[in-house]
Amino acid sequence: MNQSEVLVNQLKQGNQSGFTALVDLYQDMVYNTALSIVQNVDDADDIAQEVFVQVYLSVNTFKGESKLSTWIYRITVTKALDHEKKKKRKKRFGFIQSLFGGEAEEHHHPVEFEHPGVQLEKKERAAELFKALKKLPDKQRIAFTLHKLEGLSNQEIAEIMNTSLYAVESLMGRAKSNLKKILYNYYSEKISDQ
């Protein structure tokens, strides 16, 4: 029995130390993935908490057909995308309220955030990459994020996204092509400003 199977069995039995061990083992993975998607430290913290609550509540539905990490990645990606959709709805609703004289609560996304995988000297380029990633369709963004930022193979990404290897390769190709276009515009503007 491997470590994941032991943890799942402990969780299914309601063992608190099993849950603590699971959080210790996967918290960095969950937080970094959420942060790469939502690009907001506070939101990533909230999502990480939601993910572990979901894992705890849903552990009895985990059949072991995929790796435990794959299942947790799926939950993380879903929670992060759902969080972004909720934020967009709130922003739209706030704008509509302001048109009709209601008080709208302003929500600001910080332009800068600290991603643990970005070295200090690469922060400006990383910030532009993360801005460009926000402009990609969700599936392309998730595939690119899981591959380039989390270091997962295309096969692992296919399992997480519940799609074929060919589909992941296609998503990666389109993501790279779209990022080149977006970043080309940024760098060509930067050069013309000098």
Which pLDDT does position 90 carry in this prediction? 67
Q: What is the pLDDT of residues 29-42, one digit of tens each?
A: 999 999 999 989 99
Pick the CATH number of 1-116 from 3.40.640.10, 1.10.10.60, 1.10.1740.10, 1.20.140.10: 1.10.1740.10
Question: Which bin fits 144, alpha (ψ -120 to 50), beta or left (φ > 0)?
Answer: alpha
Domain assignments of the chain as residue spans, ordered by start = 1-116, 117-194
Q: What is the pLDDT of residues 1-56, one digit of tens each?
A: 788 888 888 888 888 888 999 999 999 999 999 999 998 999 999 999 999 999 99
Q: What is the pLDDT of residues 93-117, one digit of tens each?
A: 555 555 555 544 444 444 445 555 5
Which pLDDT does position 104 carry in this prediction? 43
Of 178, 175, 182, whose CA–CA distance to 161 is shortest?
Answer: 175
Task: Tell me the C-alpha distance between 53 and 58, whole Å.
Answer: 8
pLDDT at 153 over 70: yes
Top CATH class of 117-194 equals: mainly alpha
User: The tokens of 31 are what?
Assistant: 């937080």
pLDDT at 186 over 60: yes
Q: Beta strands of the chain (E only): which ranges?
A: none
